[in-house]
Amino acid sequence: NKHRQLMKPGFSCGPPSAWQDVTLLLLAVALLPFAQCFAPTTTAPWAILSPTAATARLAGARATAPGGDDIISRAQLFLDEATGFYSELKPEFLADDFVFRGGVVGPLNKADYVDTMEKLGVYRAFNLEPNAFGFTVDPSDPLTVRFFVRNRGCHVGKWQPWGALPPLPLEPDPERSAVVGPTEAAMVTFEPETLQVRFFTTGNVVKFGDGPSGVNTGGLGAVLGLFHAIGIGDVGNLALDANVRGLSNWAANNVGALKIPRTKSENAPAWWTEG
């Protein structure tokens, strides 16, 4: 694969051209750590609750915290069926004032998260399992569920996460298709009236005490880790540069034809504060 050859150490095809520089900047936008986590569940299909029903459910969650089995089931259902990372995205699971914040990317509001996840297309190009564990209701907030994930899976389809240009989709390579991710901390918070998801964070890699060996994502989680797993980690690392993220986000907001995923929303919901 020509694209992979360009990334091999020691490979050289002469001085970098302006086109190569532009290509690298466009590739940088593929770095959205939307690592999500899925846990099997037998919960009934999702339904947006009326205020009365939601209040009753919230009262039940408060009564059972920190156990909170009902809230945990809703978190598992969201992860299993709606995030757009392990499975198809379902916007109806998200509150109108939803915010996503990853280890690098974000905050993203609902519209930008939906747009970004569809452009990234991780669930179409990878067959991933989150191996989620440790689900617990936050004792200080009965609407928040915290847990961990360890992504495992394979690259199974064409992947072009940087947008329309360059038109070089990454094909699965049998020798570099496996994904073995590190332990990541994640969290889901629900909106009290409808019990839709108001806040979601993942891609927060646990730096110390990570048990499993064989991690091949360069110590990174979510989307950034996928680049390392399939052998083009240098491209993924571009997203660690705030200047590159800023440039790619400007292009996403101002040059729609490029179809670049956003890395940060210009307008986050009023309730959101960084840190």
C-alpha torsion sign, points 148, 102, 122, 229: negative
- Mean model confidence pLDDT for the chain: 79
Instruction: Give me the torsion for CA of 180, 226, 42, 77, rounded to 10°.
Output: 140
pLDDT at 54: 53
C-alpha torsion sign, points 88, 94, 99, 101: negative
Residue with tokens 């009262």, as numbered in its chain: 59
CA angle at residue 271 from 265 to 272, to 5 degrees?
A: 45
210 pLDDT tier (thresholds 50, 70, 90): confident
pLDDT at 193: 87
**Mean pLDDT calculated for residue range 136-151:** 96
Q: Is 224 exposed, middle or buried (0-12, 13-18, 19+ CB in 10 A)?
A: buried
pLDDT at 238: 83
pLDDT at 31: 36
Token reading at 178: 């496996």
Domain architecture of the chain: domains with CATH: 68-266 (3.10.450.50)
DSSP state at residue 187: E
Instruction: Give pLDDT tens digits for 32-61.
Output: 333 333 333 333 344 555 545 555 655 555
pLDDT at 122: 96
Name the least confident of 40-54, 191-205, 214-228.
Answer: 40-54
What pTM was estimated for this model as a whole? 0.74
pLDDT at 256: 87
**Mean pLDDT calculated for residue range 160-189:** 92
Q: Are 151 and 186 a contacting pair, CB within 8 Å?
A: no
